[in-house]
Structure 1
Amino acid sequence: MKNLIKLEELAMFLLSIYLFSLLDFAWWVFLLLILTPDIGMLGYLINPKVGAFTYNLFHHKGIALLILVFGWVAISEEILLTGIILFGHASMDRIFGYGLKFSDNFKHTHLGNL
């Protein structure tokens, strides 16, 4: 089952690449920004509860899709880009087993323990 989930996440990551290709940005922009959602880990410098909140804020696919749809409605490539990067990054993380965090510690995720 884990491999099936990883394949599903890979498909979503590839979808984010395709959606990015529809935008008018150079390819290096995707490569530059794809790791930026990890800025959410900085909350762990305060404590695990804040860290889990900030990490999950930047890695929640529902939030990414809301931003993406808002960018589409607002006809804003920058907002679309933000949603695509958040969505693609979350999918990429889940391929490697990093899920949404529980507030007790970084390694406790909705996909199990790291």
Structure 2
Amino acid sequence: MMKNLLKVEELAMFLLSIYLFSLLDYAWWVFLLLILAPDIGMLGYLINTKVGALTYNIFHHKGIAILLLVFGWAAISEEIMLAGIILFGHSSMDRIFGYGLKFNDNFKHTHLGNL
């Protein structure tokens, strides 16, 4: 029950990211092109699990996404706002599928449990 409630909450946040994107002056293909871009954070796993968890978590942290969005709004920078929206939406999308923030020991060990 709780897992499903969390997934519905993440779906609402993903839909919020789509709405926020619609307020920007970008074509929809840009959203589709960039929505998987935060997975570049997985490249840290090529070094080791500690670096991988760090880089993955930076690119999947909703707090960082919100800071980027707010900073972009304050600086009147659609590019920075876009980065925040994409990070936020991607993180919500990942969490719908059970991919959470990573622990240092193993890619499959997340704050949502083990994959």
Q: How does the TM-score come out when normalised to structure 1?
A: 1.00
Offset, 1:38: 0.1
1:27 matched residue in structure 2: 28
For structure 2, the 5+ residue unaligned runs are: none
Q: Please state if 1:54 is matched with 2:44.
A: no
Q: Aligned runs of 1:1-114 on 2, under 5 Å?
A: 1-114=2-115
Aligned counterparts of 2:27 and 2:97: Cα–Cα separation in 1 = 26
Aligned counterparts of 1:87 and 1:12: Cα–Cα separation in 2 = 8
Aligned counterparts of 1:94 and 1:103: Cα–Cα separation in 2 = 18
Q: How does the TM-score come out when normalised to structure 2?
A: 0.99
Aligned counterparts of 2:68 and 2:28: Cα–Cα separation in 1 = 21
Aligned-residue sequence identity (percent) comes to: 88
Structure 2 letter corresponding to 1:106: F
Offset, 1:33: 0.1
Offset, 1:51: 0.1
Q: Secondary structure of 1:59's partner?
A: coil
Structure 2 letter corresponding to 1:90: S
Offset, 1:27: 0.2
Aligned counterparts of 1:81 and 1:37: Cα–Cα separation in 2 = 12
Runs (4+) off by over 3 Å: none
Per-residue Cα deviation, 1:18-59 (whole angstroms, up to 9, x for no partner)? 000000000000000000000000000000000000000000
* Number of equivalenced pairs: 114
Offset, 1:90: 0.2
Aligned counterparts of 1:89 and 1:19: Cα–Cα separation in 2 = 13
CA RMSD of aligned residues (A): 0.2
